[in-house]
Amino acid sequence: MVIKEDALKEPTGLLSEDNMDQESIRQAIKTLLTAVGENPEREGLRRTPDRVARMYGELLEGYRQDPNELVNDALFEVKYDEMVLVHDIEFYSLCEHHMLPFLGRAHVAYLPRNKVLGLSKIPRIVDMFARRLQVQERMTRQIAECIDELLNPLGVAVVIEGLHLCATMRGVKKHDARMTTSAMLGAFRNSLATREEFLANIARGSNPIL
């Protein structure tokens, strides 16, 4: 099955495998260091621009991942229609507003329609969308829509709990604030009992973010 690229890569035009310009990132970091009053040539900072450029290559690799290649052939025909739940999936992302990290845990469930996804692929899907400049609300929806498009299940549910450093390090400086977002599709939206079963399961098994 081919996953619709426009639904999964929104917003587009930021990075691709061929146009991540490492040299421009290095020069931008040198400019930033100078602008804040530092000397980019001093010993401790001399290699910082290169480190940061390589770091962004890793933290933003989700733009360069093809969801179809990621899933590959890990779709299996199984006569099973009960809930499949993977909870406490750790993720790390960058807020697109301040480019500061937000991190947390994702809980993902679906009701199969005679087709299941290999276990490791769900955390990989979470990582694919987390490793972009993101907002938590969009990331939650993208994960749910990706699994829905891929499996055509009876329903998909995603709940994400995030700690945002833009709200703890700066601004309101609320160190204990956590953000929870959810996306419910199909049976998880239409059936209260199904939704409550999912929420009860993640409440029992969830670990705190920090």
> Is 96 among the catalytic positions?
yes
- Catalytic pick from 65, 136, 142, 146? 136
> Is 87 among the catalytic positions?
no
- Catalytic pick from 97, 137, 175, 196? 97
User: What is the overall mean pLDDT for the chain?
Assistant: 90
The model's pLDDT over 165-174, given as tens digits with 9 standing for 90+, comes to 999 998 888 8
**29 backbone dihedrals φ, ψ, rounded to 5°:** -70, -40
> Is 136 among the catalytic positions?
yes
pLDDT band with cut points at 50, 70 and 90 for residue 205: low
Dist CA 181 CA 137 (whole Å): 6
> Is 107 among the catalytic positions?
no
Whether the pLDDT of residue 16 is over 50: the answer is no
Measured in residues, the chain has a length of 210
The pLDDT of 150-170, averaged and rounded, is 95
> Is 166 among the catalytic positions?
yes
Give the model's pLDDT for residue 99: 96
User: What is the pTM assigned to this prediction?
Assistant: 0.88
The pLDDT of 112-124, averaged and rounded, is 94
The helix (H) or strand (E) run that includes residue 25 is helix 22-35
Sorted by where each starts, the structural domains of the chain and their CATH numbers stand as 22-59 (1.10.286.10), 69-205 (3.30.1130.10)
Tokens at residue 4, please?
């619709």
Give the model's pLDDT for residue 93: 98
- Catalytic pick from 65, 95, 134, 146? 95
- Beta-carbon neighbour count of residue 25 at 10 Å? 18
